[in-house]
Amino acid sequence: MSAALRLGTRGSPLARAQADLAALALRSAGVDSEVVVISTRGDEAPTAPLADLGPGAFASALEEALLAGEVDVAVHSAKDLTGEQPGGLALAAFLPRADPRDAWCGAAASLDAVPAGARVGTSSLRRCALLGRLRPDLELVPIRGNVQTRLDRRAADGLDAVVLAACGLERIGLADAIGFRFAADALLPEAGQGAIALQTRSGEQAAVAAVDHVETHGAVLAERGVTRRLGGGCRVPVAAHACAADGGWRLVGWVGSPDGTEEARAEAVGPDPALLVDDVVAGLRAAGADGLLAEDGA
């Protein structure tokens, strides 16, 4: 009998819930596993602004443990994998994608119902920029921490709402906190949002191949293709989202200024999301993405 796969994960309630989902999927495929908790740079600095932590804040420690042979599989929120894949590692499988949209956690049932000047908690550059375009009157307040901590900050800091990923709230039983969900086209999701990625050492992808969801895999790789090609940094928001449309796929890419006053957006449709990346990147560059990205010091 083969040894159980060691699944490396962060220690937050959401990360543990995602590792449990991976373990359940593997068990359903006849593969035994056990969860190994690893602390990451992002977890060790819970109050530091995300932009100051740099790429890999929530992923690099898991990847280092994988390369060192301390775990066999790293379980990630796919949106945390913002950089290039380190040498020797592979994105081997993705579980079926959950709701990729962002959620408003507050009393309002729609953005139109949010009062002028409402105070909204989020530390995401992408969310700040897109909310700034949708409702420039909102006061955006930086907050960090796990999902429950950020929900608690709403009352503690006198916020009208916090904005979080809908899938994360659902995975830890907090969907009741959602007032409404933003349309994906209005608040374009982070590349990979809603997907759980299983990363292995190169050559060992077969260990988790049985749980790979082909459609999610293709969609997330296309989204990552857009953001990787653009070379977006830590201080300029970049987003991409692929979804099924009219029997095929629609891929949307977006780059914005941090204050939301400028943006470049492009989309393409076709039978395979991987074949849409070139057109979306070209469309973004034609719309001024390179000028926006230059603000990151690239």
- The residues assigned a catalytic role are 80
3-state secondary structure of 89: strand
Q: Do 219 and 274 meet the contact criterion of CB atoms below 8 Å apart?
A: no
Radius of gyration over alpha carbons of the chain, in Å? 19
Geometric angle at alpha carbon 231, from 229 and 236, rounded to 5°: 130
What spatial distance separates the first Cα and last Cα of the chain, rounded to whole Å?
A: 51
Of the candidates 76, 19, 56, 88, the residue with the CA atom closest to the CA atom of residue 5? 19
Q: In the numeric block, which tokens belong to residue 244?
A: 């099924």
Q: Do 196 and 76 meet the contact criterion of CB atoms below 8 Å apart?
A: yes
The packing angle between helices 13-28 and 147-156, to 10°, is 150
Q: In the numeric block, which tokens belong to residue 164?
A: 């979080």
Q: Going by C-beta distance under 8 Å and a sequence separation of 6 or more, which residues neighbour residue 165?
A: 79, 100, 101, 102, 103, 189, 193, 194
Q: Return the exposure string of 208-240: e unless at least 16 CB atoms fall within 10 Å of the residue's CB, then b.
A: beebbbeebbbbbbbbbbbbbbbebbbebbbbb
3-state secondary structure of 196: strand
Q: Going by C-beta distance under 8 Å and a sequence separation of 6 or more, which residues neighbour residue 160?
A: 106, 107, 108, 114, 115, 118, 119, 120, 154
The CA distance from 32 to 198, in Å, is: 15
